Amino acid sequence: MTGNVAALFSIIALGLAGAAGMSLAQVPSAQVHSVQVQGTGAEAHLSRGVQLMQEQLFEAAASEFEQALALNAKDPKAHFEFAVCLLSLGRNDEARKQFEQVQKLAGESHYVTYYLGRLDLLANDYASAIKRLGSLAEDPPFPDTAFHLGVAYVSSGDVAAGTKWLERAAKLLPRDYRVHYRLARAYSSGGREKEATREYDLYTQHRDEHKNTEKDVRDCTSGLRTGPLAAAREVCHRIYDPNDPDKLTLLGQLFGDAGAFAEALDPLKRAVQLDPNSFEAWHNLGVTYFRLNQYKEARAPLEKAVALRPEFYGSVVLLGATLYMLGDDDAALPVLERAHRLNPADAQTAAVLEKLRASQKKQ
């Protein structure tokens, strides 16, 4: 590797350190960092839309997805991401049309069925919601499938069936105060006042924990910014919950944002064990290893992140950088080619790619 190429990769890595952002709904105050994705191709618009979704900038993301589809109307990935974005914006009828278009282009999907079931529930079409969500019950694409199925049954008047599914949801999502609130109401409707009181108490407890977590995030961020790491570590440890992958991922990113990468490793490694399908956890673990110059360890987490979100430029380009740092030029080249397609206007990536192509030609 030439010194110039190594320096370029260092610059890229510094720019991408916090690229994933957080999708932790329970902690809206989580810090988000972005990497500007530029370019006019369909893949670039799709990648930019995915990034904006990570940052919860849904209106801007919708515009990018519309531009991606104007260039490639038969891409089911773009239709799917656009549909999820529209649902987040409350544009439910439009979201349904996009999900149905995904079905036409790519066939049946558990994920599309899940979202159509949720749209049925929002439209008060309980019979259809029960049919769709019920078909996923034994192999749910998301852990809250049982929750939405339970709400659909209760809303349809079948309190007994709804209670059964809400009880399952409470086991799967024990810290979700929405589940306990709905289960308390179901118990009360069924005349089970003792159980209803217990669930109302849990609802209050977890709702208050949610509020406390927001305060803990602010205190941790302030401590890391203004005080010594040893003192901040004690404050930040209030967020640590060995059984909550979302809080662990959040804590890891807060440490990473402050440059305390060694401190970020433990919560992030624990998070991917608890939730192996969490893009945020894998991406941030890979970024952390990269920033610690542990490229061998960074490779697998970044490969997992790219597999989960192949359109997210930050993960793709950092994986390419990792492979190059490891001296695996043959593996790095196609990854960086893809990164360049996702963000063709990134001059730094283009420069590295040009040098790598030239090096490959000489061999």
| Dihedral angle, C-alpha 50, 54, 56, 57, nearest 10 ° | -40
Tell me, yes or no, if the pTM score tops 0.75.
no
Angle of CA points 69, 75, 77, to nearest 5°: 100
- CATH label, 1-35+276-363, candidates 1.25.40.10, 3.40.50.1100, 3.40.50.300, 2.60.40.10: 1.25.40.10
pLDDT per residue, tens digit, the chain (363 aa), is: 444 444 445 444 444 444 433 322 222 222 333 444 455 688 989 988 988 887 778 899 999 999 999 999 999 999 999 999 999 888 999 999 999 999 999 998 999 999 999 999 999 899 999 999 999 998 999 989 999 999 999 999 999 999 999 999 999 999 888 899 889 989 988 889 899 999 989 988 887 777 777 888 888 999 998 888 888 888 898 888 887 788 899 899 999 988 999 999 999 999 999 888 888 899 999 999 999 999 999 999 999 999 988 888 889 999 999 999 999 988 999 999 998 888 887 888 888 888 888 877 776
Most distant CA atoms of the chain, gap in Å: 79
CA distances from 190 to 153, 185, 216 (A): 13, 9, 38
- Which contacts of 225-228 are long-range, i.e. CB under 8 A and separated by 24 or more positions? 225/258
Which sequence spans correspond to the domains of the chain?
Answer: 1-35+276-363
Q: What type of residue is 265?
A: L
For residues 287 and 16, is the Cβ–Cβ distance under 8 A? yes
Distance CA 299, CA 309 (A): 15
Q: Is 239 helix (H, G, I), strand (E, B) or coil?
A: helix
